[in-house]
Amino acid sequence: MDEIQTLKNNTDSLRLSQMFLRFVTSLSIFAVTVFFTPNFNISSFPILILSAIIIILFDYLVSIVTGIHDIPLGRGFVGFTCAALIIYVTQFFVDGYYISIISSLIAAAIYGIIDSMLPNRS
C-alpha cells in the first residue's frame, strides 16, 4: 500500500514540475511572439504572465474536452486553428491585452514554429 502512495506522490510532483516547465516555456515563446507580431499589444510584464497562464489553461481545457492534441491532425491545422482562437479569445479575459484576428493567426504560426523546435514535452 505504501508503494502505491509513493508512486502517486511521485506522479503528482512530476505533473507539477511538467506544468511549471510548460509555463516557463510558454511564457518565453509568448514573449517572443508578442515582439514579432503586428497589432499585438500587451501593456506590461504582469499582463504577459497573466495572459500566458490564461492561454495555458485554455489549451489544457481544450485538450481535455476534445482530445485534440492526442491525434496527428490535432498537432497540424486543427491545433493551429485552436491556438489562434485561444490567443484571440484571451483578450476578453485579460485587461491590457489586445490582438486582432489576423495577428492572432500570425501569433499562432510563430508560436507553433518555435514550439515545434523544442524537445517533446510528453
Total domains in the fold of the chain: 1
How do residues 78-119 score in pLDDT, each as one tens digit?
677 878 888 888 889 888 888 889 888 888 888 777 766 766
> Could you list the residue range(s) of the whole structural domain that residue 112 is in?
2-117
In the block, residue with C-alpha cell 490564461: 54
Q: Give dist(CA 10, CA 100) in Å, integer.
A: 42
DSSP bridge pairs for 42 = 97
Residue predicted with more confidence, 16 or 51: 51
Q: Give dist(CA 99, CA 70) in Å, integer.
A: 28
- pTM equals 0.67
What pLDDT is stored for residue 8 in this prediction? 53
**Average pLDDT, stretch 5-29?**
66
How do residues 35-91 score in pLDDT, each as one tens digit?
888 888 888 888 888 888 887 788 777 777 776 655 555 556 767 787 888 888 888
What pLDDT is stored for residue 7 in this prediction? 47
Domain assignment present for residue 122? The answer is: no
What pLDDT is stored for residue 84 in this prediction? 87
Domain assignment present for residue 39? The answer is: yes
